[in-house]
Structure 1
Amino acid sequence: MATDSQVWFITGASSGFGRHMTELVLKKGHKAAATLRKPEVVADLAAQYGSDRVLVLKLDVSSAHEIKEAFGAAVDHFGRIDVVFSNAGHKVEHAPEDMAREMFETNFWGSVNVAKETLRVFRDVNKTAGGHLLQVSSSSAIQGFPAFGFYSATKHGVIEALAGELDPGWNVKITLIEPGAFRTGAVSTNLPSVPLQGPYAKPNSMPAVVRSIINEENFKQLPHPTHAVAAMYKLTTIPDPPLHLPLGQQGIDIVKRKLTSMLAETDKFASWSDGMGVDEVQF
């Protein structure tokens, strides 16, 4: 994609990756539709850059109706959308079912509906078809971890499948960004909010061990999200961006361990599939 002035549509612009990406995009001279649940949080950016550069929109990505309205408002305001940074997310583990379902509404269905509307705008609305969807996923979508089960499930699979359905003539690119842990609110606040129950409440249970690692001191040792955002932005400046981008040393290590383990197990039991042709199986 060209590095000339672009129009970005950013979800979750209030904090973390979303806020840092909005700031970076504007500093680079691009325009941004900054979407979030509480527009007043980015009032400073609106005042600094003016309405010709930044459009602040209220958006709860769990609402498909609000997604369509926000995309429509961005197109009406800027004329097109070149890059979508789909970043809004929610994380609560070992929660009552209603809270877990709320997480799926935001992380899974929110991402799906943003991606569907992104594709429609890129393909059918932009006068010159095309665009780049940057979907912030997680390294825990590659490797499911104790205490992250629901979150891992919400981040896995569906956008990758969508990427395989695209017609090359649409000129649409998709990159799944799979970061390890960075110094964002998603790591520091959300996970420990619900007490562990039953056998998981034991100090030596794996969910409890994982939670014990998430503390203020360890949080301070994580890389700053601006480093991740700079790498994410760079994806839009190269002609052939990857479908997957593990990010941060932790994210890279997770992917390598997962692939190594899966390959070893596959090789170990590959012979069990010998002779599995179309012949009738005899039990």
Structure 2
Amino acid sequence: MAENSTTSSSGPRVWLITGTSTGIGRALVQLALEKGEIVLATARSPAPLEDLTEKYSSTRLLVLPLDITQPDQVRAVFSRGMEAFGRIDVVVNNAGCTALGEVELMDEARGRDVLETNFWGTLRVTREAVRFFREENPPGLGGRLLQMSSFLGLTGSSGSGAGFYVASKFALEGITETLASELDPKWNIKITLLEPGWIRSAAASKTVWSPEEPHPAYAANPALPTTAFRSLDLDTSNLIPWKDTRRSVEELYKVASLPDPPLHFLLGKDAIVATRAKIADLSGSIDKYETWSEGLEE
């Protein structure tokens, strides 16, 4: 068995990973299995994982359908994990979706779908993970919760054209930070927000614009970020610093093995540069107007 770091007293860890049919989720399933771990892989459509179920026995890999927007399905997956493996050590909240469109123009129903999946769906899994780690796992075992956010959850100005996706990740960041502050340390639950830059996945080829054509007011200025973004082929454009999925996932996997993981984990030079620029801008604004806050206390 390949070397791995465990959170349980002995043996491989049990992972529950959402959104595993393609991209980062599937790559993480494959890596964890290669490392000797046990994986409960979920996806709205599990069919693309059939090749892995043929390769690994049911004692190593369990594939289940899951739509994270459905509370009953979320609870059922955790229950099935307990039945099959007796515990869950690591939960990776990876399932999500996106839609592109100017904030002013985005179809409201489509925008709500993004928030329903990326925020409310992820929150359902988060709540159940915390409860499960505390009440279902053996006492004191706790667990690791990895929230697949994005550097766009920190730098909204980097996400022109993806406003509702950005909003969903900002919301996830905020509620996860609050949750982390509320947990009793004795529960031994460790949470990390994963904030990668552009990692190669199937999302680029699946993303559509709403509306399909730009509004004339935006199209009139080709220098506007969304106007330029609309002209790109997201799959092939060399203007997007795509990172290798496998190598990126290897770094994300390491975070789950750290004895004292960070709350925030940025991955990729693009993510780091953009976030540092945001911090510098915010710091400059604070410094410039700090005196305006003096003398306000009663």
Interval containing the TM-score (normalised by the shorter chain): over 0.9
Alpha-carbon distance, 1:61 to partner: 0.8
2:218 counterpart of 1:200? yes
Q: Distance in 2 between matches of 1:185 and 1:116?
A: 28
> Taking structure 2 as the reference length, what is the TM-score of the superposition?
0.88
Q: Distance in 2 between matches of 1:191 and 1:178?
A: 23
Q: Distance in 1 between matches of 2:294 and 2:249?
A: 46
- Which of these residues, 2, 15, 24, is aligned with residue 6 of structure 2? 2
The match for 2:90 is 83
Moved more, 12-21 or 192-201: 192-201
The match for 1:126 is 137
Q: 1:183–1:219: 8 Å Cα contact kept in structure 2? A: no
The match for 2:147 is 135
The match for 1:229 is 249
- Which of these residues, 147, 168, 171, is aligned with residue 154 of structure 1? 168
CA deviations on 1:112-134 (whole Å, 9 max, x unpaired) are 00100100110000013300001
> Which residue identity does 1:139 align to in structure 2?
F
The match for 1:114 is 125
Q: 1:5–1:29: 8 Å Cα contact kept in structure 2? A: yes
Moved more, 178-187 or 218-227: 218-227
The match for 2:262 is 242
Q: 2:146–2:194: 8 Å Cα contact kept in structure 1? A: yes
After superposition, where does 1:270-281 map in structure 2 within 5 Å? 270-278=290-298
Q: Distance in 2 between matches of 1:188 and 1:164?
A: 37
> Which residue identity does 2:218 align to in structure 1?
Y
2:230 counterpart of 1:211? yes
> Partner of 1:43: helix, strand, or coil?
helix
After superposition, where does 1:65-76 map in structure 2 within 5 Å? 65-76=72-83
CA deviations on 1:3-58 (whole Å, 9 max, x unpaired) are 65100000000011100000000000000000001111101111101101000000
- Which of these residues, 94, 99, 109, is aligned with residue 110 of structure 2? 99
> Partner of 2:252: helix, strand, or coil?
helix
The count of corresponding residues between Structure 1 and Structure 2 is 278
The match for 1:167 is 184
Moved more, 18-27 or 125-134: 125-134
The match for 1:189 is 206
> Partner of 2:155: helix, strand, or coil?
coil
Q: 2:146–2:192: 8 Å Cα contact kept in structure 1? A: yes
Q: Distance in 2 between matches of 1:192 and 1:183?
A: 19
> Partner of 1:62: helix, strand, or coil?
coil
2:278 counterpart of 1:258? yes
Q: 1:93–1:100: 8 Å Cα contact kept in structure 2? A: no
Alpha-carbon distance, 1:214 to partner: 4.8
CA deviations on 1:162-206 (whole Å, 9 max, x unpaired) are 111111011000000111111112234315474244223443332
> Partner of 1:50: helix, strand, or coil?
coil
Q: Distance in 2 between matches of 1:226 and 1:219?
A: 21
Q: Distance in 2 between matches of 1:250 and 1:220?
A: 9
The match for 1:25 is 32
> Partner of 1:217: helix, strand, or coil?
coil
> Taking structure 1 as the reference length, what is the TM-score of the superposition?
0.93
Moved more, 68-77 or 204-213: 204-213
1:214–1:269 Cα change, 3 Å:
farther
Moved more, 210-219 or 68-77: 210-219
Q: Could you tell me the percent identity over the aligned residues?
A: 40
> Partner of 2:259: helix, strand, or coil?
coil
Q: Distance in 2 between matches of 1:103 and 1:275?
A: 43
- Structure with the higher helix share, 1 or 2: 1
Q: 1:11–1:87: 8 Å Cα contact kept in structure 2? A: yes
